[in-house]
Amino acid sequence: MNQKTSQTAKTALRGDLLDFSAAPAWGAEDDAAVRFRPNHWLLIDEQGRIAGIQAEEPGPEYQRIDHAGKLILPGFIDTHVHCPQLDVIASYGSELLDWLNRYTFPAERRYADPAVAHEGAERFVDALLAHGTTSAVVFPTVHKGSAEALFESARSRGMRMIAGKVLMDRHAPDGLRDDVAQAERDCVDLIQRFHGRDRLAYAVTVRFAPTSTPEQLAMAGALCKADPTLYMQTHVAENRAEVDWVAQLFPDARSYLDVYAREGLLHPRAVLAHGIWLDEADRRVLARTGAQIAHCPSSNLFLGSGLFDWTAAREAGFAVSSASDVGGGTSLSMQRTLADGYKVQALGGRRLSAWAALHSATRGAAKALGLGEEIGSFETGRLADVCVWDWAHGPVAEQRDTVARELHERVFAWLLLSDERNLAQAFVAGRSRFRRG
Ligand code: GUN
Ligand code: ZN
């Protein structure tokens, strides 16, 4: 859906409003940070910002959209997802390195064609919105045109998007490699044209240590040092064979994470996917540098990569958000992602509350990205990236919803049983960008 919907003067949405005023305590079912305002009106001003919340019906100066009986949440933030990999989602039978070679790299090569990149970006961004994800940190491909296409698709929908041309100058097939000098020129040009424009931001995008030479990693680090407002995104310590390979390629590094640390790639705007096979020293480095982990439970289960230790992350004190990692992950739905996150923690004998889970894909992710003043909650002044969800879809979920006795029970069942079919409407900066039917 690409058209600009007409913005009336002011909009008010009625429904059951749920957001967070702070980080909920881990595992607590009853938490003061949870703000549940059933049957309230969310007021949105002419600039698409949240103007307030009230129980009384607003006056005729508001266009009223009545979603009474539905759940209204801040739009989800997916902190790690690959645009071109919609074409390989749910590919059978392999672990990370084989999966990249068999499925992912061939699919990404097709994005050399600007028409493929454009159509793929349009399809991807609309798919995000149709899953209730209004902001994302995204990998396109190595091709400059794929980053341009992605930024343009997000811009035309008014979305908050963080992305950057993928850097990879070795250990990748023909048609998927760049070189240091050209890659640097492309990054500089993309940064000038897109970083800080509208709701776009540039991320220096190192695919992962094995596909960049030390020279390219140094170039990426220099870009980050030259402009601390840039983001950085990459993968780290996802799979054991990958970790062994990095140790062979970088024998001087103390660890996989250290390959990035010593090039200056770890900072408060660095988003590293996975982080399953980190050690205590790595966790201290993440905490000290302010870098964050995008936890990708669906992908980690699907590719058999391992179980992320969220408790160790909390104890070390670095930020963790939740991410789909499609196409390693098997759904763009953040409910499905969070449901898998619950199961991963359960396998480690821990319990992820609905509050901790939802916070990691809304306010928590926004804060970790330094965007807490813009997205992630219903505070006055935030942009109105807002999604309206059915509490239940189908007879099993409806019955479960009917018998739920208290709020955590109800929201937890919603989280585990719902997906994109529950989405009724999605707003980006106050404009309707998805409406079911
Ligand atoms: N490591 C390097 N590239 C990728 C990718 O595309 N997906 C995942 N899950 N891990 C990676
Ligand atoms: Zn990934």
Per-residue pLDDT of the chain (437 residues; tens, 9 = 90+): 333 444 558 999 999 999 999 999 988 888 899 999 999 999 999 999 999 999 999 999 999 999 999 999 999 999 999 999 999 999 998 899 999 999 999 999 999 999 999 999 999 999 999 999 999 999 999 999 999 999 999 999 999 999 999 999 999 999 999 999 999 999 999 999 999 999 999 999 999 999 999 999 999 999 999 999 999 999 999 999 999 999 999 999 999 999 999 999 999 999 999 999 999 999 999 999 999 999 999 999 999 999 999 999 999 999 999 999 999 999 999 999 999 999 999 999 999 999 999 999 999 999 999 999 999 999 999 999 999 999 999 999 999 999 999 999 999 999 999 999 999 999 999 999 999 98
Last-in-domain residue among 332, 353, 368: 332
24 lies in some domain: yes
- Ligand 1 centroid – CA 299 distance (Å): 10
Residues 36 and 82 in one domain: no
Domain with 88 in it: 76-332
Residue to mutate, 96, 103, 142, ligand 1, most ligand atoms under 8 Å from C-beta: 96
Last-in-domain residue among 287, 314, 332: 332
CATH number of the domain to which 97 belongs: 3.20.20.140
* Whether residue 269 has its Cβ less than 6 Å from ligand 1: no
Query: In whole angstroms, what is the distance from residue 176 CA to residue 243 CA?
Result: 22
In the chain, how many domains are there? 2
Q: How many degrees, rounded to 5, is the angle at CA 386 between CA 29 and CA 57?
A: 90
Query: In whole angstroms, what is the distance from residue 86 CA to residue 81 CA?
Result: 10
3 lies in some domain: no
346 lies in some domain: no
Residues 66 and 84 in one domain: no
Residue to mutate, 104, 207, 235, 305, ligand 1, most ligand atoms under 8 Å from C-beta: 235
2 lies in some domain: no
Looking from the CA of residue 211, the nearest atom of ligand 1 is 2
Residues 37 and 108 in one domain: no
Residues 117 and 243 in one domain: yes
How many C-beta neighbours within 10 Å does residue 28 have?
14
273 lies in some domain: yes
Query: In whole angstroms, what is the distance from residue 275 CA to residue 282 CA?
Result: 9
Residues 99 and 64 in one domain: no
239 lies in some domain: yes
Of 364, 273, 275, 352, nearest to 319 by C-alpha is: 364
Query: In whole angstroms, what is the distance from residue 294 CA to residue 329 CA?
Result: 13
Residues 122 and 271 in one domain: yes
**CA nearest ligand 1 atom 9, residue:** 328
CATH number of the domain to which 401 belongs: 2.30.40.10
Query: In whole angstroms, what is the distance from residue 24 CA to residue 208 CA?
Result: 32
| Predicted structure pTM score | 0.97
Query: In whole angstroms, what is the distance from residue 201 CA to residue 195 CA?
Result: 4
Residues 48 and 98 in one domain: no
305 lies in some domain: yes
412 lies in some domain: yes
Residues 313 and 398 in one domain: no
Residues 110 and 259 in one domain: yes
